[in-house]
Amino acid sequence: MKALFVAGTGTDLGKTHVACALLAAARSRGLTVEAFKPVVSGFDPHAPDDSDPARLARALGRPEAWAEVSPRRYRAPLAPNLAARLEGDTLRMDDLVADCRDWLSTRDVELALIEGAGGVMSPMTDEATNLDLMAALGLPVLLVAGSYLGTASHLLTALEVVRARGLTIAAIVVSENLDAPDLDQTLALLRAFEQQAPILSAPRAATWDADALVDTLLA
């Protein structure tokens, strides 16, 4: 099984957009896939179809499975620890790590994705960040960045801290932002500074084909 952690250099950059495209492309090849987002905030229980868990479930071909994809769901669009506190809950890193490990141990698929919440250094609990969860799991990282002005600094900073924790970058995907600098120029700039991991692009078009990403990750 190929298991990856999908992380972002920031919030709302397109992690789920990339994950869903990757899952769909893998399924189109006949590969078995699974996805897990251990915690999600900003979840509206009255409109679950608009949520990240629902999008991932649809990409899996099991639209009814959104609750299984994200077992810890909170309403407030805040950092998970703050959103949980508003509902009388306390998130603990040991619990999140256990959730992910238990989930991984019961998967029998060719590609499994665990998607974080927010950016690499976004708080997950009162004492730990997304990076702490990533380090505890030790999975190769699929790092998603934006194409906005300033993304080079954010991406290079994220690469430094992720690698400092001993994690491997499997690939980098630059998810296109609207009203951003030319995407090809941004890719060229980033490739000049990062030459270890492959850098691919993810246009915002709904019909984006992630075949090249599948090839890169499963090579």
14 is in an annotated binding site: yes
147 is in an annotated binding site: no
Question: Which of the residues are catalytic?
Answer: 37
61 is in an annotated binding site: no
Residue type, position 55, single letter: R
129: annotated binding-site residue? Answer: no
Tokens found for residue 206: 């709904």
Residue 108 annotated as part of some ligand binding site: no
Q: What is the DSSP letter of 65?
A: G
Q: How far is CA 205 from the centre of its chain?
A: 18
The reply to whether 166 sits in an annotated binding site is no
DSSP state of 206: T
213 known ligand binder: no
Annotated binding residue 116 = yes
For residue 123, give the 3-state DSSP assignment: strand
Distant-in-sequence, close-in-space partners of 50: CB < 8 Å, separation ≥ 6: 44
Q: How many CB atoms lie within 10 A of CB 176?
A: 18
Q: Please check if 8 is assigned to a binding site.
A: no
CA pseudo-torsion sign 50, 52, 82, 46: positive
Binding residues for Mg(2+): 16, 52, 115
Binding residues: 12-17, 41, 52, 115-118, 175-176
Binding residues for substrate: 41
Binding residues for ATP: 12-17, 52, 115-118, 175-176
